[in-house]
Structure 1
Amino acid sequence: MSLVSAEVTQQITSNGFWAQEDAAVGKRVDDIVNQGFQFKTEQGLELCKVTALDDPRIRPVIEFFLPRSVLGFYKAYGRTRQVHCILNRLTPELQILVVQIWSSGSEVIFYPGSHTHLLNAVGAQNGLLAIPPDRLNLPGINAKSVEMPNGGFAIVDARLAFRPLGGKVVMFGFMTPSEVIYWAKMGLPGTLEQKVRDEMESQTIGMNFKFQRSEGDGADDGPSLHRQA
Structure 2
Amino acid sequence: MALTTFDLENASNAIRNSGFYCEKDPELRTPLLDMGPKSCLSEEGLEFCKLHVLRDNRVRTILESFLPWCSLGRYRKFHSDAGHIFQFRGGGEKAGRHVLVVQLWGEGSEVVFFNRSHTYELPGVHASNGLWEVPYAALESTKCAEGSEIIFQQGGITIQDARVAFEIRKGTPIATVFAMRDVITKWAKVVLPNTPQILHKVAELQNESESIGFHFEYDARK
For the criterion TM > 0.5, the same-fold answer is yes
Question: What corresponds to 1:131 in structure 2?
Answer: 134
Report the alpha carbon displacement of residue 164 of structure 1 after superposing the two structures with TM: 0.6
Q: Deviations over 1:118-161 (max 9, x none)?
A: 11111112222100121111345241000001111100100000
Contact 1:71 1:206 in 2 (8 A): yes
- Determine the structure 2 residue equivalent to 1:175: 179
- Contact preservation (8 Å) 2:110, 2:149: yes
Change (3 A) 1:32 1:137: same
Gaps spanning 5+ residues in structure 1: where? 216-229
Kept in 1, the 8 Å contact 2:29–2:155? The answer is yes
Aligned pairs for 1:60-209 within 5 A: 60-80=61-81, 81-89=83-91, 91-141=94-144, 142-190=146-194, 191=196, 192-201=198-207, 202-209=209-216
Which residue of structure 1 aligns with residue 219 of structure 2? 212
What is the rounded CA distance, in whole Å, between the counterparts of 1:48 and 1:140 in structure 2?
Answer: 36
Q: Is the 8 A contact 1:53 1:200 kept in 2?
A: no
TM-score, length basis structure 2? 0.89
Q: Decide whether the 8 Å contact of 2:22 with 2:158 is kept in 1.
A: yes
**Tell me, what secondary structure is at the counterpart of 1:57?**
helix
Q: 1:68 and 1:87 mapped to 2: Cα distance?
A: 19
Q: Size of the alignment, in residue pairs? A: 211
Higher deviation after alignment, 89-98 or 155-164:
89-98
Q: CA deviation at 1:37?
A: 3.2
Would you say the 8 A contact 2:8–2:61 is kept in 1?
no
Percentage of matched positions with identical amino acids: 30
Q: Secondary structure at the match of 1:46?
A: helix
Unmatched runs of 5 consecutive residues or more in structure 2? 1-5
Structure 1 runs of 4+ with >4 Å offset = none
Q: Is the 1:26–1:101 contact (alpha carbons within 8 Å) kept by the matching residues of 2? A: no
Quote the offset at 1:4 in angstroms.
5.7
Matched letter for residue 205 of structure 1: I
